Amino acid sequence: MASNNRTSTYTTTSDHDRPKSADAKKDMWSSMLDSVASGKHLPEKNILVLGGTPESQREFLESLSTDESRRAGDRQNSKQPPIANNFALGYTYHDVLDADHEDILARLSIYLLSDPSPSFTPLLQPLLTPQTIPNTLIVVLLDWSQPWFWLRQLRDWIRLLRTLLVSLDADCKEKMEEVMISWRDRGRGGNSLDGGGSSSTAESDVSLPLGPGEWEEALGLPLCVICQNSDRIEVLERERSWKEEEFDFVLQFLRTVLLKHGASLIYTIPSVTSPLQSLVHASLGIHSLLKREPLKHNVIDRDKVLVPPNWDSWGKIRVLRDGFDVEAINKGWSLDIEETDNFVPEPQTNGTDDHPATDEDVPQIEGGAVEVYEENIRDPSLDALQAASGENSGHKLEVSSLDTQSFLGTQLEVLDKIRNDSSGMDSSRLVRGRQMSQSTVEDGEGSPTDEGRVNEHIGPVQFNMGGIQVDADDMLQRLKDRQSYQTPEPETPMGGSDGKNQNDALASFFAGLMKRGGGSAASSPKPGAS
C-alpha cells in the first residue's frame, strides 16, 4: 500500500509540473522573438511630393541618396526600388542610411502627384491618419525653367491641400493641431531644428513670439518648397535679360508667401551637393547617430538659397531689397488661397498690364498676390502673343467661343438651308447654262469669264451632221476668225450674197441648231441659202 501511494503521488506531481515547464519555455521564446522584432522595426516616414514632371520627381529622389559614391554602388550592386509616377498617384520607397552606410535609420514611403486636380483628393485621404500625420512631410516642386508660373502653381497646390485637410475626420484634425503647435516652437529662439523639439527646457522658455505674417495659414503638416534647376538662373540672365532686381523680387515673394505656412525653401542644382537631404531628414525627425549637420540659412547666393523653417521674418525679407510691400503681398495671398466652390486649377496664362473694369467685381483677383507676381515676372510667350496681336496700338487679342450645343444648332440651320437650295439648283443649272451660251452666240458678245462659266456648267455643244460629230463652239470661233480677216467686197446692185452675208447665215444656222438641241443634215437648210 505504501508503495502504491508513493507511485501515485509521484505520478501526479510529475504530470502537474511538465505543463508548467513547457509554458515557461514558450513564453521565454515569445518574449525573445518579440524583442528582436521590435529592435529590427524601422521607423516609417511619409513624403508627399506635389508638382513637377516624372523626370524632375526622379531628380528629387536621386538627391535623397546619401552621396555620389553610394549611388553608384547601389546601381551596380543592388536593385533600385521601382518608381511608378506616370499616372495619377505614384509611389516608391527609400531607405535612409546612417553616415557609415551600415545602419538603416528609417524607411521613406514617397507618394508622387503631378496634377493639382481636386479629383485626386480621394487618393490622398487614406494616406493621412492620426498615426501617419506626425511622420509626414509635404514637398512642392518648382522649376527654374518657368519661374513665371510659380505663384499660380503654389496657389493651386495650397488650395488642394486645404480642401484635403478640411475633409479629414476629427481625430486627424486634432493630431494636426498638435503637430503644428510642435512645429511653431521648433527651432525658435536659437534652438536647433530636430525631431525632438527644443534641446533644453531653459531654451524652450525663451522661445521668441510669433512675428507678423508667421503661421497665419497653418496647413497642419510641415511644408518644404524646392526650386529645382537653379543653374538656369544664368540662362534667364543671358536670354531674358533678367537682373538682380527680378531674382530678388522672386525670392522676396516666395519667402513672404511661405512664411504664412511656416514652410521652408531651398534652391537646388542637379548633380550638385546641397543641404536638401539634411533639410528633408530634419523635417521628418531623422537624425544620424554618428554625424549631425546643422542647417545654415543662405539668402546671399542666388542659386543656393536655403530658408529653414521658423527662421524668416518680415524684417529679414525687407532687408533683401527696399520697396517690397510685404503687407500687401501677405493680404493678397490670403485672398488667393481662399476656398471656392468651383475651384479648378487655372491655365497658366495671365499677366497683362491693364485690367478691364469687370475684373474689379472678382475679389480673389483684385489685389491678389498671383496677379502682382505675374505683372512683374511675365511669361515670355504671352509677351510675344500680345506683341503680335497689336497690344502696343491699343488692341488686345480677345478670343470668344460659343457653347457647343449653340454652335451645333446654328450649323444645323445652315445645313438645312443648303439642302433646300440644292434641290432646285441641280434642275435649273443646265437650263441657265444653255441660255447663257445661246445669248452669247446670238449677240456675238461675251467675255472669257462668261464663256468659262458656261463651259463649266454645260460643257462644249456638239451635234451630228451627216454622221460627223461637229463642235459648235469651235465652228463659230472659226467663222469669227474668218470674218475678222476677210476683206470686204463691193456690194452688188441686186444685193446678192457676199462673204459677210454667208457668215451671218452660217452663224444663224448654228445658233438655230443649238436652240433645237442639234439636227441632221437632211432636215436642215443648206449653208448660204437665202
3-class SS of residue 95: strand
What pLDDT, on a 0 to 100 scale, did the predictor assign at position 125? Answer: 94
CB neighbour class for 22 (10 Å; exposed up to 12, middle 13-18, buried from 19): exposed
How confident is the model over 73-98, as pLDDT tens digits? 454 445 678 888 888 899 999 888 88
- The band of 414, judged by pLDDT with boundaries at 50, 70 and 90, is confident
For residue 146, pLDDT beyond 80: yes
What pLDDT, on a 0 to 100 scale, did the predictor assign at position 364? Answer: 38
How confident is the model over 449-472, as pLDDT tens digits? 555 555 555 556 666 666 677 677
What pLDDT, on a 0 to 100 scale, did the predictor assign at position 90? Answer: 93
What pLDDT, on a 0 to 100 scale, did the predictor assign at position 188? Answer: 63
Closest CA to 379 of 412, 354, 352: 352
Highest-pLDDT range among 22-26, 356-360, 392-396, 407-411: 407-411
Phi, psi of 424 (to 5 degrees): -85, -15
How confident is the model over 184-230, as pLDDT tens digits? 887 665 445 554 433 333 444 456 788 899 999 999 999 999 999 99
**What's the predicted TM-score (pTM) here?**
0.62
What pLDDT, on a 0 to 100 scale, did the predictor assign at position 394? Answer: 53
Counts for the chain of helices (H) and strands (E), in that order: 18, 9
Residue showing cell 513665371 = 148
For residue 444, pLDDT beyond 60: no
Pairing of strands 462-465, 468-471: antiparallel
* Arithmetic mean of pLDDT, 247-264: 96
What pLDDT, on a 0 to 100 scale, did the predictor assign at position 200? Answer: 39
* Arithmetic mean of pLDDT, 423-433: 53
Determine the distance from the C-alpha atom of residue 254 to the mean position of all C-alpha atoms in its chain, rounded to a whole number.
Answer: 21
For residue 135, pLDDT beyond 70: yes
Domains of the chain (ranges, CATH numbers): 40-198+210-343 (3.40.50.300)
For residue 529, pLDDT beyond 50: no
* Cα 60 from Cα 293, distance rounded (Å): 20
* Arithmetic mean of pLDDT, 287-292: 76
